[in-house]
Amino acid sequence: MKKTAKIVVALLVAMVMVLTMLAAVACNNTDDPCKDGHKLKAVQRKEATTEAAGYEAYWECENCHKLFSDSEGKNEIQKPVEIQKLDPAAGKYGVETAPISVAQALALADEECASPDDFTQKVVYATGKVFTQPAYNTKGYYEQFTFQDLTDTDRKIIVYTMSNDANAPAPDQNDTIVLKGYIKNHQGTIEFSSYKDADNNYTYVQLLKNTKGTSTITLNSDNGATVNGLNQSGTNGSEISFTVTPNQGRKIVSVKANDTVLTAANENSYKFTLHGNVTVKIETADENAKLAEKLQSVHLFNDASGDDNQYISTYTATNSNGLALTVYGFSTNNHSGSWGNARCGRKGNDQTGETAATISTKTAIEQQITKIVVKVDAMTKEVTFVNSFKLIVASNADFSTVVETVELTMKVGENEFQITNPGKGYYYKIVVDSNQTGANGCYQFSTIDFWGLAD
């Protein structure tokens, strides 16, 4: 009897093993419908209404029915990104107490601003985040900056001119704001813009509310000094204090918050007010080293003179020391209106087909130039539109004998071209080669500074 029981148990174990093996083989033979890739079908964005939420565009595999946020099937999602339903009190244009989002404002523009120079039918109230730092000018309003959706951070719109009649706190990068204004199709670019009525009266975009945001603080140091008390972030508008102590045998060359040079308040103590993301840059040198100085500076707008026109100009900009620059392919709007800078990126020379804008010295500079600093005030198009941004150093006026070429990625602020082989009697040319952008140039330049060793 016991022997029979053992045989039965052994048979059962063998059967289980066989079934397990068969199941494994069956699993291995199961065809994966997407083993060669997903067959994706686009599902269009659905706008929110006052009755129901909408959703962002997504892609669904027709075989496995997985969802993805991208057309290549790399980012799987569990469900589409929801667009909150509209507040019934706001309607599709929003109201001050219930503004629409930037994404909703762009959808409204698709509906009402399909053609160039189209405006929205009514004034729009929208809320979002300040993506690029606004610049306040002497004419009493804020120049171009980028306005970002609070949820869908890829959705952005340009704000062309903005006033602050409501006396809200001054806007900084990363602040959350509420705007009132019209949306316009400006030759293919959708923007919050000033509105001109039949009597040529302008109404600027208005800042109604501002909630101060948190910005990052990044330290960039050459390790020649010890920094204490510098936090990694702070609230916009707050004062940031820290100390910088040079290491033995080193001295402080400069301490900057972005492009602003900071002066020590007392015994290596520095401070600045936070206005958006900032990089604190600390440069040191050997305590016995001779330091470079700013030898020449030329303003491209106020110093400009010569034959120029509203769109593309070739003119000479000269400073008080007589240093003359030939400026080609930049627009100054006849030195009138709201412009306070020279802009490029509008188009090239229609006759020659050239696409690059240039700024070059008319005569040789006899001093040794170690770096050239180009101030870019604003960029209303992404830097990807710029094919190249470079400095050419040459030993002759026609730049046929090149000594050195330095290339940078353009950024808002000070762009420093470091020259590794400085020499006397050289010529210098800044070249901006970009794709055509909009009706006005989208890259705004103000000054060029020449640094070197004084004789």
In tens, the pLDDT along 264-296 reads 988 899 999 999 999 999 999 999 988 888 999
Does the structure show a pLDDT above 50 at 235?
Answer: yes
Q: State how far the Cα of 256 lies from the Cα of 236, in Å rounded to an integer.
A: 17
3-state secondary structure of 198: coil
**Four-point Cα dihedral 331, 275, 193, 181, nearest 10:** -170
Per the model's pLDDT, the better-predicted residue between 44 and 430 turns out to be 430
Q: Given this model, what pLDDT does residue 168 score?
A: 86
Spacing of C-alpha 409 from chain mean position: 12
Paired sense of beta strands 176-186 and 202-203, if any: unpaired
pLDDT, tens digit, 9 for 90 and up, residues 114-168? 998 899 989 999 999 999 988 776 667 787 889 999 988 899 999 988 888 778 8
3-state secondary structure of 180: strand
Q: Given this model, what pLDDT does residue 333 score?
A: 56
Does the structure show a pLDDT above 60 at 398?
Answer: yes
Does the structure show a pLDDT above 50 at 5?
Answer: yes
Give CATH 2.40.50.140 domain extents, the chain: 100-211
Strand-pairing partners, residue 83, are: 54
Does the structure show a pLDDT above 50 at 307?
Answer: no
Q: Given this model, what pLDDT does residue 27 score?
A: 44
**Four-point Cα dihedral 256, 261, 265, 271, nearest 10:** -50
Average pLDDT, the chain: 83
- pTM score > 0.85 for this model? no
Q: Given this model, what pLDDT does residue 317 score?
A: 83
Give CATH 2.60.120.260 domain extents, the chain: 293-452
pLDDT, tens digit, 9 for 90 and up, residues 346-387? 555 444 445 688 999 999 999 999 999 999 987 777 777 788
Does the structure show a pLDDT above 50 at 256?
Answer: yes
pLDDT, tens digit, 9 for 90 and up, residues 168-217? 888 999 999 999 999 999 878 899 987 766 666 777 899 999 999 999 99
CATH 2.30.30.190 holds for 100-211: no
- Which band of pLDDT confidence, cut at 50, 70 and 90, is reported for residue 37? confident
Counting residues of the chain whose pLDDT is more than 70, the rounded percentage is 81
Paired sense of beta strands 205-211 and 162-163, if any: parallel
Contacts of 62 (CB under 8 A, 6+ apart): 39, 40, 41
Q: Given this model, what pLDDT does residue 301 score?
A: 67
Q: State how far the Cα of 283 lies from the Cα of 9, in Å rounded to an integer.
A: 81
Strand-pairing partners, residue 389, are: 408, 432
Structural tokens at position 160: 């062309």
Per the model's pLDDT, the better-predicted residue between 394 and 24 turns out to be 394
The strands making up 269-273's β-sheet, listed across from edge to edge, are 225-228, 239-246, 269-273
CB 248 within 8 A of CB 284: no
What average pLDDT does this structure show over 101-113?
Answer: 93
pLDDT, tens digit, 9 for 90 and up, residues 56-88? 889 999 889 899 988 778 888 998 888 777 666
285: closest CA among 261, 254, 251, 256?
251
- Contacts of the segment 349-353: beta carbons below 8 A, 24+ positions apart: 349/312
User: Within 13 Å, how many C-alpha atoms sit on residue 370's CB side?
Assistant: 10
Does the structure show a pLDDT above 70 at 89?
Answer: no
Does the structure show a pLDDT above 80 at 222?
Answer: yes
pLDDT, tens digit, 9 for 90 and up, residues 240-254? 999 999 999 999 999
Q: State how far the Cα of 95 lies from the Cα of 36, in Å rounded to an integer.
A: 50
Cα-based distances in Å from 31 to 64, 73, 137, 261, 379: 12, 20, 65, 65, 52
pLDDT, tens digit, 9 for 90 and up, residues 417-430? 999 999 999 999 99
Q: State how far the Cα of 195 lies from the Cα of 122, in Å rounded to an integer.
A: 11
Q: Given this model, what pLDDT does residue 39 score?
A: 86
DSSP H or E segment with residue 159 = strand 156-159
Does the structure show a pLDDT above 70 at 1?
Answer: no
**End-to-end alpha-carbon separation of the chain, Å?**
114
- Which band of pLDDT confidence, cut at 50, 70 and 90, is reported for residue 413? confident
Q: State how far the Cα of 69 lies from the Cα of 73, in Å rounded to an integer.
A: 7
The CATH-assigned architecture of domain 293-452 is: Sandwich (2.60)
